Amino acid sequence: MNIHTQIEIKKGISLKPCHTFQLEASAKYWVEVYQPDDILKLMDTPVFHRETRFVLGGGSNVLFAGDFQGLIIKNSIPGIEILSENLNHVVLRIGAGVVWDDLVKFTVDRGWGGLENLSMIPGLTGAAPIQNIGAYGVELEATFVSLDAVHLESGIPESFDRKMCRFGYRDSIFKRSHKGTYLITHVTLKLNKSPEVNLDYGNLKEILVSEGVINPDIRDVSMAVRKIRASKLPDPAVTGNAGSFFKNPVISREKFESLRSIHSDIPSYPSGNKVKIPAAWLIDQCGFKGKRSGDAGVHEQHALILVNYGKATGREVIGLASTIQKEVRGRFGVSLEPEVNIIGEDNAL
């Protein structure tokens, strides 16, 4: 039983511990919701209707350009429920406030396949379908069944199936026409009880071989992903960051062949009549790896990660990101699009 029966709107809350970039910023108003009914209670308050609103999950994909002059709604809806199960599959309904990697561990420990390649992605489950999270050749879309959400104007609960979400590469309808319109309460996923492992992306095979694993299962894959991510990615508890700052650009085959004629070593991942190229490679080629601008910088081991070395401001990080975009566009003719959600319209890249 959920013991939270009332909502409490607070003023002047620091956002530094609430997002992984750890930038100095504060919220004019702050409220935490633990169940769908809390949203309806919140909608009865003057603050809800008067202020600009932003729904915050784990804060792992957010850059605050400055103080947020409105209401932050922290989504803390808990719970993992088995909706159905047979010999082949299990269907789970997960609260939006469940930590994503806790969910991955929960499923991997039980031998339920589908999420193992998505190990160690920071954030909460409710944010996963918003950007169709993906890593090591797997995207959320592959296991997604539906989500439940509350419309933040009408208060009406609605459900969205896979087709309605209009998933794309790090994209969904909730980043476009429905941005800021709904608060996701639950996500439903279908997992495989006799899973086949996916080792086609990155150096997963090499890691497993080095560990002496000949016939890997999903636990081995999760282990390998964790090992790779830990070796490449800075711990946000130590060095503020939001993971991959830019999306990997997807370009036409014609554009790719033109680039390859000049840069023969350019890595690529073909997909239909398009080709995805690593943004990290493009940024690295422009000499940004390890570079700093004030307390904002590019990580020394992974050029796709922008970091806060202690006292960076949102404006500093945005300025560095803008410089990177211009250099990559000038050298390669390729535009980099932020994967991070930048809060503050005047500072959008």
pLDDT in tens, 232-274: 888 888 999 998 999 999 999 999 999 999 999 999 989 889 9
Identify the band that residue 65 occupies on the pLDDT scale cut at 50, 70 and 90: confident
SS (H, E, C) 91-113: EEEEECCCEHHHHHHHHHHCCCE
Catalytic-role residue among 146, 222, 244, 316: 244
Query: Quick one: pLDDT at residue 3?
Result: 45
Residue 327: active-site member: no
Domain ranges of the chain: 10-75, 80-192, 240-347
Same fold, 80-192 and 240-347: no
Counting residues of the chain whose pLDDT is more than 90, the rounded percentage is 84
pLDDT in tens, 158-200: 999 999 999 998 899 999 999 999 999 999 999 999 999 999 8
pLDDT in tens, 282-324: 999 999 999 999 999 999 989 999 999 999 999 999 999 999 9
Catalytic-role residue among 32, 116, 139, 339: 339
Identify the band that residue 346 occupies on the pLDDT scale cut at 50, 70 and 90: low
| Mean confidence (pLDDT) of the chain | 93
pLDDT in tens, 203-241: 898 899 888 888 999 999 999 999 998 888 888 889 999
pLDDT in tens, 72-95: 999 999 999 999 999 999 999 999
pLDDT in tens, 109-152: 999 999 999 999 999 999 999 999 999 999 999 999 999 999 99
Q: Which string of b and e fits 188-208 if b means at least 16 CB within 10 Å?
A: bbbbbeebebbbeebebeebb
pLDDT at 16 over 80: yes
pLDDT at 5 over 60: no
Catalytic-role residue among 32, 53, 93, 170: 170
Query: Quick one: pLDDT at residue 282?
Result: 98
Specify the pTM: 0.88
The answer to whether the beta carbons of residues 308 and 22 sit under 8 Å apart is yes
Residue 219: active-site member: no
Residue 170: active-site member: yes
Question: Where in the chain does DSSP place strands (E)?
Answer: 10-14, 26-33, 53-56, 62-64, 68-75, 80-85, 89-95, 134-135, 138-139, 144-151, 157-161, 182-192, 240-244, 250-252, 269-271, 274-276, 292-293, 296-298, 305-308, 341-343
Options 3.30.390.10, 3.30.465.10, 3.40.50.720, 3.20.20.120; which CATH number does 80-192 get? 3.30.465.10
pLDDT at 201 over 90: no
Domain 240-347: which topology?
A: 3.90.78
Exposed, middle or buried: residue 184 (CB in 10 Å: 0-12, 13-18, 19+)?
A: buried
CATH of domain 10-75: 3.30.43.10
